[in-house]
Amino acid sequence: MLDLTNVCKTFNAGTVNEKHALNNVQLHLEDGDFVTVIGSNGAGKSTLLNAVAGTWPVDSGSIQIDGQNVTGLPDYQRASLLGRVFQDPMIGTASNMMIEENLALAARRGKRRGLRWQIAPDEREQFHARLTELGLGLEDRMSVKVGLLSGGQRQALTLLMATLRRPKLLLLDEHTAALDPTTAAKVLELSDRIIAENRLTALMVTHNMKDAIKHGNRLIMMNDGKIILDISGEEKKQLTKADLLQKFAEVSGNTLENDRVLLS
C-alpha cells in the first residue's frame, strides 16, 4: 500500500542548522498493516509522516501510495488518498464551523467542490449515525460550533473526518499527545476500532512505548533519520519495553535517553 524508496530530506542545507531528517529511508507497508513508529526526539518520525502526507517535497527518492507515484504531488492533491490526524487538536477541524459542516467538508475530500449546497439532505442522517458510533454524545450537537468542543472531542471528530471517506492510508501523528490519559485512551481505542472495522492501513507515530507495543501489528523504530528496527507479527506481541530498549542499544550503539519515552 505504501512504498518509500531511498527517501531523503535535509533541512537548512548548507547552514549551521543543517539536519538530515530522512536518510535514505526504505519502507514498505502491506494492505492492512497498522504500523506504530517510535523514536527519540529528532529521530525523524513526524518528518516521515509529513513526507508521506506531502507537506513539502522530498529531496530525492520516491513515494508510492497504492501503486500511485505521489512524489510530485503537493499535500492537497494527495488528500484523496490519505486521512490525517494532527497532534494539535485545534488544527484538525475548523473551529468557526459546525460539526456537520466539518463532516460535510470531509465527505467531499478529493472531490471537485462546486456550487451545490454544502450538505445533501441524506448526508445528515449518515453523519448522525457515524457520530453515534463514536459514543461521545456529539450526534445531538451537530449544529454546535466545533470551537466549543474539548480537545478530546475534537480529536475524535478529526479521526472520524479522516475516515469518513475510506482513505488508502491513515496517518496518525501523535494524535493523543495533547490529551489527558483517560481521553487519550478513549481516542486510541476509537482509532483501533475504526482501523479494524474498515481494515485500514495506518501509520501511527507515538512517544508512548507501551502504546506502540500494544497497538498495531508492526513496530518501527527510527533514529537519526533511519529506520533501525522493524518488528512485526508474533515477535511484536511478545515485546516488552525492556526488550525494546535493549534492542535499541544494540542497533544504534547508544542508550535511548529520552525521559518522555522512558517514563511513558
Positions in the binding site for another protein (CB under 8 A): 53, 75-77, 79-80, 82, 84, 86, 90-97, 101, 104-106, 108-111, 113-118, 158, 161-162
- The whole-angstrom separation of Cα 105 and Cα 242 is 44
Of 246, 264, 107, 86, the closest CA to residue 175 belongs to: 86
State the nearest-atom distance from the C-beta of 113 to another protein, in Å. Answer: 4
Between 79 and 239, CB nearer to another protein: 79
- The whole-angstrom separation of Cα 71 and Cα 51 is 9
Cell numbers at residue 107, please? 465527505
- Identity of the residue numbered 237: K
State the nearest-atom distance from the C-beta of 92 to another protein, in Å. Answer: 6
State the nearest-atom distance from the C-beta of 122 to another protein, in Å. Answer: 16
Of 171, 177, 151, the closest CA to residue 41 belongs to: 177
Between 194 and 221, CB nearer to another protein: 194
Residues 165, 104 contacting (CB under 8 angstroms): no
Rounding to the nearest 10 degrees, give the CA dihedral for residues 222, 46, 199, 128: 160
State the nearest-atom distance from the C-beta of 210 to another protein, in Å. Answer: 28
Between 158 and 223, CB nearer to another protein: 158
- The whole-angstrom separation of Cα 197 and Cα 34 is 13
Q: In what order do the strands lie in the sheet with 60-65?
A: 19-29, 2-11, 60-65, 68-69
Between 60 and 118, CB nearer to another protein: 118
State the nearest-atom distance from the C-beta of 81 to another protein, in Å. Answer: 10
Between 205 and 231, CB nearer to another protein: 205
Between 57 and 110, CB nearer to another protein: 110
Of 70, 116, 99, the closest CA to residue 161 belongs to: 99
State the nearest-atom distance from the C-beta of 172 to another protein, in Å. Answer: 12
